Structure 1
Amino acid sequence: MKLPFKIIVLLIILSLTGVFIYQAYWLVSFYHSTSKQTDTNIENAIKNADHIELFMRADRLSEKENKQRVTGVKADIHGEVSYSTLFRKGEVNKTSHIVIKKTMRRDGATYENERIIQGNNLVNDSINIGKDQNSIDAMLRQMQQGLHSAIDINVEAINVRDFDSIMNGELKKYNLNIRHYTQVVNTKTHKVQSSSLPASIDTKTLKMYELKYDVQGAHAYQVYTEPTDGIILKQMTGILLTSFIILVILSVSFWYLIRTILKQKTLDEMKSDFTNNITHELKTPIAITYAATDALLNFNLIDNESKREKYLHICIEQLQRLSGLVEQILSMSMEQRKTFRLNMETISVKELADNLIEQHKIKADKPANFTLSVEPENLSVKTDRVHTYNILSNLLDNAVKYSLEKADVSISISYSNNEFFVEVSDKGIGIAPEKQTHIFDKFYRVPTGNLHDVKGFGLGLFYVRTLAERMGGSINVKSTLGKGSTFTFKLPQHGNE
């Protein structure tokens, strides 16, 4: 069962639309996931920079005073692991320190205790940690926050320039090369304690990431970066380009498929029309010849000289018509063969044109007036006699056929710039502009409105164009609807023969 053409086109369009929508959805999803991963990478870079900057300050102090910071890890035979950091400042008899201790069993059971002490003040105690990696991260994070509480207040404030420098290195680990600025703020009072942010920059155009770094959450880093959209799109360049190429290939393929289907549909309709038309055209001369012959044989018309001559002329005319139809079809079949060869020879143009004009005057079914102009008069050209004859004959036949009550046909033949020109003009019905691009197509016939007696199969002008191109020439038309047409046949020559 054949699907209607409109349904096929609709299915193709729906398929292509579905591919476009899916591709767009996938690209948008990939963009969002990449954007989310970029944000995560920046947040991790801030955490790592905070960690490095914190211990850089602690180590600078350790260089001045012996054993100022001691960090240790212990494990016992029961599978318990403890992490501790001890920091002392000042005179020996005036001790201010932090002790952070966490314990986790190997079997996954975690009964943790954290104690953060500043002087004699207990800051935090008895915090339970979960069983997964996030618990360990949280444990280490809280250790880091405890160190901040001691170092930032009692030892040395945060240096945002050092932090920014460390951030550069951390961002490069994630292949992120973006401008960034840092502020240290009090989250309770919103007071900026230190900043590398230039006063001239509008923070509304930047993206802000915040990291609270102390136990109480009262202080935080606010890192401002340039928008990451451009960076993400740059990272997606390869995927976007590949997707675009795939979509273009799919679009062109679907367009070519629809175009091919349309051409095949049109060609199928033309072949069907040709078959019906040629069947009728072949049947008519056969039927007329059969009737005339039957009359001569069965109605004693052989002895009647006038009627006998009349019927014999009818038979000859119909057989000539039948021969012409068969010859045209055979010519089309021959020119498509790979073994097709042109027999080039030098011919007299005026002689050829005069013979054609005489034949078409006799053949015409209406009054026909032919005007011939050859410049120079003795012009000779090198061409294939038979096919040039057929080309000119088709042009003259169309000029007469598509004229109304009387045919006025003008033939102009000339030679210029090593080219042989033939122009055949008529004052017939003309061709609409939108039809002119199709008249040289195989089986195509221009609708003739009320002119129903015009016979043909849509092969003549296709034959003319094909043979003209085979001989290295060209054929084109200029026409105005209701005023007539001019066909120009050009054939290159190597010197004036």
Structure 2
Amino acid sequence: MINICITSRLSSLPIVIAHKKGFFEEFDTQVSLHVNTHHKGILALLEAGRIEAGEIPTLAYLQESFLKKSKIKRIYKGLFLYHSPLSFYSRFRFRPEDLTKNKAYFIPVPHINSVERLFTEKFLEEYAPSNPVKIRFTDTPSFLEEKEFLKPSCLGLASDPFISPFLKNYHDFKEDSEIPIFQSGNLVPSTLLAFSGDAILKMGRRASGVLLAVKKAIDYLKEASQTNSSKLWEDLNLSQYYPHLRAGELKSILFSHPMMEKGIFSYHGNIEAFSPLIKDSYFRLIRRVMTPEAIAPVLDFSEILEALEPKKLFDVRKLNSFKEGGAAQQHAPSLINYRKLNAIRHLIVDVNSVTLDILQGNFQSRLNTDDTLLLDNRVKMLINAMLDSFNSTLELQKEEIAELENLISVLEIKLDRSAVDLQYSEEKYRYLFEFSREAIALVDADTGNILEGNYQFRSITGYTRGDLTKTTIEDIIMGDQISPQLRFGSDLSQDTMLSLPDVDILLKDGSKLSVDVSFTSILLSPKKRYQVQFRPNLERKEQERLQHEFISNVSHELRSPMTNIRGYLEFFKTDKTLAYNAEHKNMLEVIDKNAKRLSFLIENMLKLTTSREKDEQDEVVEIFDPTPVIEDVIHMNSHLAKGKQLEWELNLKKGLFLKGIRFEFSQIITNLYVNALKYTFKGKVSLSLTETNGKIAITVKDTGIGIDPNYKNQIFDRFFRIPSSDNKKIGGTGLGLSIVKSLVEKMGGEIFVESKQGEGSTFRILLPKSNISS
């Protein structure tokens, strides 16, 4: 088993692809893949021989190559993994004069010996040559990179948008700076696959299997970038290796990122790209200036690539790259001070061993202690106590994480169910909307733009979906038919219901169509919408015409025989030669009452027709005193109160005048007064006429059965009667109040109603006062 350690940066993608796609097994190599938070840990594990291979920074490998080490301690190059088109990014566009020596800045880097650090130094040297600043570089894991970048004291970050996707939202100095470091445009070899010396000495053939699998994975990535096919990524779940990247974000990066096509994943490296970075720079540990000529042999992969070309396993130990390894000239570290005390040396060795165990994930590793009171033993006990405390905290956090994962799983299930239900509801709504028998359009309440129209609406108007996206509702409804009642962009907090009869709309072919329109406000997302229904009214108008024609014909046909009946009845009542007993007189009285009632109903039906047709040829407008008319109506209908326990209260002010048709006014009073008598079985009926604010107010009040509040807005509709047992007993046509309303409006007045079920009703009419001189 070969243990390979990588970081959670996308630079390790070829190794992950080789593992997920089974390329290692194709070359008879068993691999275990582990994620470490930092390159430093991978380098330590490689040097100690705890792992066989790992992803390390290219410059870190260069430094290791120039150190004096044995073959076991040495780190061997394998293949280049990632090549970065480096640039410098910051939260803002700072100028050279903005940098000050008095302020300390820091810059995150993946490793202190990395191309990102050298690139940053070279950028600042060229960007602000006369203004050197204090810079502190911090080794930063990928999952903390964005958090560190956003800190106020962070000057910026050297990277690219593929490794650090969040950088695309910030300032790129390459876009507006013409300094030499940005002119080359080269891809700089950033990371490579390296082997430990112990792995090379013990498993030469299996090391070649690792190299062949990773090389195939890089070729696979090149193919994915060229074909641009999402199928290559469908079977890959990479979130366990790159947890700081969201699943959707990771897929978009892999599938369509333009940098993939530039060859950022390649085993062929451009060594000359190091020239502007290495020049005048030195490695901190060995304090040596590295020239391009010195590093060229160290980063020469030609022998390894030629050996991999047959795509067969071989013993890598036969290659000079793995026989010698490292640079031709070795340098001793200048900062290491070896201690000679055995106790301290043993303590250092033990601590180093435990540290490596923890880096490999063995958090139970501890230092060996005894019962002595020696200093090194006491230090070991303190270190063990610290590790125990750390481990217990880690276990508690693991339990909390497990609970959170369970909770997240439950929430994800609920969210999935909600998403399915929401999708079903949306599809159901769209189906009902699209195939409704009514013509419906959805309109933006803020702008009046038509957002959508269903099939019936498009069929009626002739507009297509493309036409509707460029059309407002005011373009279709002609003139200013809706502007007085509905103002778009105002009063969005209130619900609105509006019905407009007999509206002309403009069709696509330029013709007109008369429809009834209704607006209903609905709330979708945070914005308000209007659902507008269009109903052609030709059929309704034809039905109304037939209805009015029928009423007119029936009324006229009934009027002639009723005139004969009333005439003969009057003859019988006035003929004194006929001897009537009490029973005969009672019969004639009943016939007379019913004849009057039937005549009243016929007049109402005729009045409905004439008011609807607006036939005013025979109407005589006059100025009259309403009080005598009201008294006459009360006298003519007093018989309706016989047998009821009723009280009357009249308050009629004389000397007030109205302008209109006397007969129509009598119809108004008759209907209201008769209704008060019909629906009041006992109690009080009052009628008053007063002057209020220059208008004449007529009030008819009763203590009858009252009006059900559910039907209060419908009582003025034609032929409407409140469905109740009392109404069935009393009888009627449902025309009286409709006639009253139309005649009041014709006289320029208003009618109001107040009612409480079981307590009575009050009808109040306001009519304009007229002077007798006018």
TM-score band by shorter chain is 0.3 to 0.5
Q: TM-score, normalised by structure 1?
A: 0.45
